Structure 1
């Protein structure tokens, strides 16, 4: 019996052989492996779409330029806190 790792390696070899020399695979009478699409529920697809939309909006906004001139940290009351 093969371990999970060995089965994965063997499946990879079979796929590469099928791509590189399908005639050889047919000569042995081995049916080509069926490749299934990933099973996604509509909830997963919706969450992915929303996340992609949010990311694209954030990237679209990009960095905002700062005002030209000296930058001073202002407090909540609008003062610089330097006293005076």
Structure 2
């Protein structure tokens, strides 16, 4: 899939279960950039080109990303 939006040329690649693997940023950057992603066995994103500190609880809810933390109530609703 390729998208042209606000003078940005983006190209996305996906794996066989439609998780995004790569994003190519082709312009207007001085040079093209590539961001890559990886996932654990249940489909939670574990790394990308910029961050590798994704953490999940036993309910597969994201609990931290980089230096941001997330909390959930007993019903699984995001509270922070």
The TM-score normalised by the length of structure 2 is 0.18
Greater relative contact order (CA < 8 Å, ≥ 6 in sequence): 2
Compare the two structures and name the one with the higher strand fraction: 2
Larger Rg: 1
The TM-score normalised by the length of structure 1 is 0.17
